[in-house]
Homo-oligomer: A and B are copies of this chain.
Amino acid sequence: MTIVYIAIACGVLAVLYGLVTSQQVLRAPAGDQKMQDIAAAIQEGAKAYLGRQYTAIAIVGAVVAVVLFLTLGGLSTAAFLLGAVLSGVAGYVGMHISVRANVRTAEAARSSLQGGLTLAFRSGAITGMLVAGLGLLSISLLFWYLVGPAGGEPDGEEVIKALTALAFGASLISIFARLGGGIFTKAADVGADLVGKVEAGIPEDDPRNPAVIADNVGDNVGDCAGMAADLFETYVVTIGLTMVSIALLVTGTSDQLLRLMALPLIVGGVCIITSIIGTYMVRLGSGQSIMGALYKGFWTTAILAVPAIYLATGYALGDLNAVIGGAADATNTDVAASVARQAVGEGFTGMDLFWCMMIGLGVTGLLVWITEYYTGTQYRPVRSIAKASETGHGTNVIQGLAISLESTAMPTIVIVVAVIASYQLAGIIGVAFAATSLLALAGMVVALDAYGPVTDNAGGIAEMAGLPDDVRTRTDALDAVGNTTKAVTKGYAIGSAALAALVLFGAYTEDLKRYATELGLTPKADGTVVDFSLSNPYVIVGLLLGALLPYLFGAFGMTAVGRAAGAVVEDVRAQFRENPGIMQGTSRPAYGRTVDIVTRAAIKEMIVPSLLPVLSPIVLFFVMRAVAGTEAAFASVGAMLLGVIVSGLFVAISMTSGGGAWDNAKKYIEDGNHGGKGSEAHKAAVTGDTVGDPYKDTAGPAVNPMIKITNIVALLLLAALASTGG
C-alpha cells in the first residue's frame, strides 16, 4: 500500500506545483489598461463558453449517471462522476490560468524573448502538471479506497468496474470538450479570417474585426481546455486500463497483484517528479532557439525517467529478475500465439516490464521526432507544400493531402515494432506497460502544448493593444513552435491509443469469459467464448463498421466547423452593416455578441457527433443480436473496437500532421520564401492553412477520445448486460 501512498504524494506534489506556479504567473505584471481590457474580454468569453459547455455536458452526464446507477450500482457511478468532474476541473483550471498568462506574456515580451518564454511555458506547465497530477490522484485515491477502506481484492469485480467507470467519466467529458472546443476555435478562426482578411481586407487580430475576441477565446477553450480534458482522459484510461488488465489476466497472491497493479501508479508518480525537474530546464541557449529550449525540458524529463522508472519498478516489485506473475490464460490459445506465448504463460520478470516501459519512452521520443519532421519548416514535407503553393491553391492542397497521407507511415511502423517487442517481452501486460510509460510523460508533453495558446493569445493582444512591432515579432517567434508542439501532443495521444487498443480488447475478451454464464455464452473447447477469428464474417462486419466511425465523425466535425463559421461570417457582416463606425475605428464592435453566437453554434454542433461513439457499440450489439444471435453480436462489437483504431489511427495522424504542415508551410512563406507575404504563393498557402484548421484542431484530435469511448462503452455494456442478466 506504501506504493499507492507514494503515488498519491506525487499527485499532490503536482497539484502543489500548479498552485505555487500559478501564484508566480499571476504576480507578473499584466500590462497597461488597454491590454487588460482586451484580456478581460477574452477571459469573460472563455468563462462563459466553458460554463455553457459544462452545463450541456452535465445534462448528458446526469443521464448517463442514472443509467450507470441502475445497471452497475453506486460505487461505479461515483467513480464515473469522479472522472468526469476531475476532467472538467483540469480543463477549467488550465483555461483559467491560460487567459491570465496571455496578457502577462505579451507584457513580458516587451522586454525580452526569455521573459515571454518563461511566462508562457510556466502557464503551460501548470496545465500539464494538473492533468498528470489530477489524473494520477483520481486513480490512486480510487484504488486506495477500493482495496483499503472498502476492503476489496485487487482483482475483485468492484475494482474492475469502478476503474472502468472512472475512465468512462473522463472520456465522456473529453470527447465533448475536445469536439466542442475544436468547433468553437476553428469556427471563430475560419470565420474571422474569411470576413476579416478576405472580405474586409483587414489583417489578422485587427481590433475592428468583431470576431477577433472569439478567435482568441477559441485558442483557450479549444487548444487549452479541450486538449487538457483529452490528455486527462488518455492518462486515466491508459493507466487505469493497464491496472484492469492486470486484474483480469494475471494470477497471483493478493499482495503480488497489489504490487503489480500499483506499479503503473508509482511510475506515473516518479515521472511527475522528472517532469517538474524538466520544466526548470526550459531556458534559451546562446542560439536563442525556442524549440531548443523546450526540448531541453522534454529530454531532461525523458532521460531522468529511465533511472526513475528503474528504481520505481525495483521498489514496487522487489527482485527484478524473479518471475512475478503467471498469466491466468496460460492455457488459452486466444491471447497467446507463437514465441510470445511463453512470455505470458510462464509469467514475466520485473526486468521484462522495465524494458517494455523503455520501449514506451522510445516510442514517445520517436513520435516527437517524426511529428517535428512532418511539421517543421526546415524539412522536406513542409517545404514541398510551400513549393507547391507557387503553382496555385489546387497544387498546395494536393501536396498537403499527399503529405498528410504519407505522414501515417512512420508512426504506424514505430507502433507496430513497439507492439511486437513489448508483446514478446511480457504479452498483453507488456504492451500495457509500454503504453503506461508513454503516458507517464504526459505532464511535460501537455506543458509544451498548453504553452501554444498562451503565446497565440499574447500575439493577438500585442496586435490589438498596438504594442511596438518588436513585441509582436517576439510573440510570433514564440507562437511558431507552438504549431509543432500542438501536433506532437496529438500524435502522442493517438499513438498511445493504438497501444491501448490491444489492452482494451484484451480486457473485453477477458470480460466476456468472466461473465460468460450471465451473458448466455457457451465456452468452446479452447476456453474462448466468442469466435474473434478474421474468418468469422461478423468480425469483418464489425471491423468495417468500426472503421467507418472515424470517417463519419470526421465528416460531422468538418461540416460543423463550416456551418458555425458561416454563422460567424453572417454576424460580422451584420455588425459592419449596422455600425459603420466599426470599420472607421470610431466605435467598438460587439465582441461579446460574436462570442455568444459561436458558443451556441459549437455547443449545438458537438452533441450529435459526440454521441456517435457512445451509441454505436450499443446499437450494433442489439441489432446483431436480433439478426444473428448473441455470439455474433459480441464478435461484431469486439471487432468494431479494433476497426475504429485501425482506421482512426490513420485518420487522426493524417489530419493532425497534415494540418500542422499546411500551417507551417504558410509560416515558411511568410518568412520571405517563395515570394513572401502577399504573393500568390502566400494566398495559396492561406487556403491550405484554412483547410488544415478543422483537420488538425477539430476532427483529427477528437478521434482519440472517440476511440476510447467506443471501447469503454463496450466494456460497460458487458458489465451492464451481465448484471442485468443479459
Any chain B CB within 8 A of the CB of A294?
no
A486-541: which have CB < 8 Å to B? 498, 501-502, 505-506, 509, 524-526, 528, 531-541
Any chain B CB within 8 A of the CB of A163?
no
Report the stretch among A88-96, A395-403, A474-482 that lies at the interface: A395-403
> Complex: how many Å from CA A409 to CA B544?
10
What would 16 more interface pairs be, CB under 8 Å, given A405-B551, A501-B540? A333-B531, A393-B690, A398-B561, A406-B555, A409-B551, A409-B552, A416-B544, A420-B538, A420-B541, A420-B627, A428-B537, A505-B535, A534-B534, A534-B639, A647-B650, A687-B687
Contact A559 B338 (CB under 8 A): no
> A375-417, CB under 8 A of B: which get 1 and which 0?
0000000000000100111110111011101101100110110
Closest 5 CB pairs of A and B: A394-B690, A402-B558, A406-B555, A405-B555, A338-B632
Report the stretch among A17-25, A448-456, A562-570 that lies at the interface: A562-570
Contact A420 B628 (CB under 8 A): yes
> Complex: how many Å from CA A535 to CA B409?
23
Interface of A is mostly: helix
Contact A537 B419 (CB under 8 A): yes
Q: List 16 A-B contacts (CB under 8 A).
A: A194-B391, A388-B562, A395-B565, A397-B397, A397-B691, A399-B559, A402-B559, A406-B555, A412-B544, A416-B541, A424-B628, A431-B537, A532-B533, A534-B642, A543-B543, A646-B647
Contact B554 A405 (CB under 8 A): yes
Contact B548 A409 (CB under 8 A): yes
Contact A551 B397 (CB under 8 A): no
> Complex: how many Å from CA A334 to CA B399?
44
Supposing A509-B535, A566-B391, A628-B420 touch, asked if A548 and B340 sit within 8 A by C-beta, the answer is no
CB distance from A190 to the nearest CB of B (A): 7
In the bound complex, residues from chain B placing their C-beta under 8 Å from that of A691 are: 394, 397-398, 401
Any chain B CB within 8 A of the CB of A198?
yes
Contact B388 A543 (CB under 8 A): no
> A205-244, CB under 8 A of B: which get 1 and which 0?
0000000000000000000000000000000000000000
> Complex: how many Å from CA A406 to CA B548?
9
Contact A540 B395 (CB under 8 A): no
Any chain B CB within 8 A of the CB of A442?
no
Q: Which of A431, A535, A539, A689 counts the most chain B CB atoms within 10 A?
A: A535
CB distance from A271 to the nearest CB of B (A): 25
Supposing A538-B337, A631-B337 touch, asked if A547 and B647 sit within 8 A by C-beta, the answer is yes
CB distance from A69 to the nearest CB of B (A): 32
Supposing A534-B534, A647-B646 touch, asked if A412 and B540 sit within 8 A by C-beta, the answer is no
In the bound complex, residues from chain B placing their C-beta under 8 Å from that of A301 are: none
> Complex: how many Å from CA A554 to CA B415?
21
In the bound complex, residues from chain B placing their C-beta under 8 Å from that of A608 are: none
Contact A337 B416 (CB under 8 A): no
